[in-house]
Amino acid sequence: MPIIKSAKKAARQSKKRRAKNAQIKNDIKVALRTFKTEPNAENAKKLQSEYDKAVKKKLMKKNTASRKKAALAKIAKASGVKFAVSKAKTTKKKES
């Protein structure tokens, strides 16, 4: 056990961070399992979102997530999943 006050605080912070990181990793595993059992666009979108969250929290490197998302897209394409393409909103300026 740490004796110094700052070491005690660091231990508490480490414990909280570890719990949050474990939860994010668990969410990725659950989303992946869900997608593999039932491959559809909604599950793929959820899994991609989980990978992006992991990158944002620095639990996973950007290229690792990119590679995993590419593999996910390959599986989705093989199983015939169609992704909905959203159209970008265009705004026109009023002519004066």
Measured on CA atoms in the order 45, 83, 72, 81, is the torsion positive or negative? positive
pLDDT at 96 over 70: no
d(CA 44, CA 64): 17
d(CA 41, CA 80): 10
Q: How confident is the model at residue 53 (pLDDT cuts 50, 70, 90)?
A: very high
pLDDT, one tens digit per residue, over 29-46 is: 999 999 999 999 999 999
Instruction: Look up the pTM and report it.
Output: 0.77
- Look over the chain and give the mean of its residue pLDDT values, rounded to a whole number: 90
**CATH superfamily membership of 5-78:** Ribosomal protein S20 (1.20.58.110)
Q: How confident is the model at residue 16 (pLDDT cuts 50, 70, 90)?
A: very high
Q: What is the mean pLDDT of residues 53-78?
A: 94
